Amino acid sequence: MIRPYGSDTLNPRYVADEAERRALHDEADALPSLLLSSAAAANAVMLGAGYFNPLRGYMGLSDASSVAEKLHTSDGLFWPVPVLNLTADVAGIEGASRIALRDPNVEGSPVLAIQDVESVEQASAADIDAMAEKIFRTPDPQHPGVATFKGQGNWLVAGPIQVLGYSYFESEFPGTFRTAKQIRDEIAERSWKQVVAFQTRNPMHRAHEELCKMAQESVGADGVLIHMLLGRLKAGDIPAPVRDAAIRKMVELYFPENSVMITGYGFDMLYAGPREAVLHAVFRQNAGASHLIVGRDHAGVGDYYGPFDAQAIFDEEVPADALQIEIFKADHTAFSKKLGRVVMMRDVQDHSQEDFVLLSGTRVREMLAAGEALPEEFARPEVARILMDHYQAEAATGS
């Protein structure tokens, strides 16, 4: 199986020993505590689950600035996005060398992790602006990732952490949430050698289904890892439970048996386009996948990124020897009326737009909310029904 990124073995920051975990919980009662932002809590979950291997904790200002500017830490580790514990108020932890980190996404704000504090630094407004513009390729405050990044505060609390749980992800998605180690273990149990990963924050329509099958056949993979984001999204995105149900129905009915692993990970979407595509590659290498599908406008939002910027970054900014995982570069896929099947648009140069079954996201939402069936060339009817129920429920409640 492919090696984890940056080390020979995976080193998740979750404290697996139950007795040690109990002792740390007891210790946390006497420690100064910090209520995390949702983004920082998601970073803790990802550190605990092994997806951020080989990192041990949150970055300080020097590493964060270096990663944003140059895509590597100050000691040379290639890394695409700063991993930060940003906060607006450090009065409660002033002078502390060890602190309890509390979860903002679970009632009662339980302790999520314990952090050894190596530094507490205040970034200037110019520092935060510069990092945001490099990460997201825009300073626009309307960009959801920029807004979240700049809204957390400007104090960086750096240092390694010991993670005591996985926030709400295990309890709300027990059949889907998996750590990088758990995915590696299942890949080994299935005796899969080549695994192609598909990242999604959306339900999968027929084009996505066929893209996974195309990629699997093209790279000779033994199976497909459908790996869905389970954390916080921007307003208007489909909730994770609905996506989960739709994807499971699609796999149940339209994929060969035992050819797909349906899993999810606990992270808040960044909408960082190219930088996030590289981060997604790190996640999947750590989870044991040999290939990652990077499609049109991967991890993008609005019109902030070019359609293939998330593919170009792997050729232009990622060192050739940095990652072992290989990228399957995909074009937009759609049903061809001429050929009667889903194709990649780049493969059918004789087609015009009118030769494809294409629907905008807005039109899809309108049709589903109105109870209007989507074309079967666009979405499997069983999947569309799950989405229709969601949108009609939203319309009925006015949410």
Q: Give catalytic residues, as residue numbers.
A: 201-202
Distances (CA, A) of 179 to 201, 252, 305: 17, 23, 30
Beta bridge partners of residue 116, listed in sequence order: 98
Answer for the pair 173, 244: CB distance below 8 angstroms, yes or no: yes
The count of other CB atoms within 10 Å of the CB of residue 191 is 8
Helix (H), strand (E), coil (C) string for the chain: CCCCCCCCCCCCCECCCHHHHHHHHHHHCCCCEEECCHHHHHHHHHHHHCCCCCCCEECCHHHHHHHHHHCECCCCCECCCCCCCEECCCHHHCCCCEEEEECCCCCCCCEEEEEECCEEEECCHHHHHHHHHHHHCCCCCCCHHHHHHHCCCCEEEEEEEEECCCCCHHHHCCCCECCHHHHHHHHHHHCCCCEEEEEECCCCCHHHHHHHHHHHHHHCCCEEEEEEECCCCCCCCCCHHHHHHHHHHHHHHHCCCCCEEEEEECCCCCCCCHHHHHHHHHHHHHCCCCEEEECCCCCCCCCCCCCCHHHHHHHHCCCCCCCCCEEEECCCEEEECCCCEEEEHHHCCCCCHHHEECCCHHHHHHHHHCCCCCCCCCCCHHHHHHHHHHHHHHHHHCC
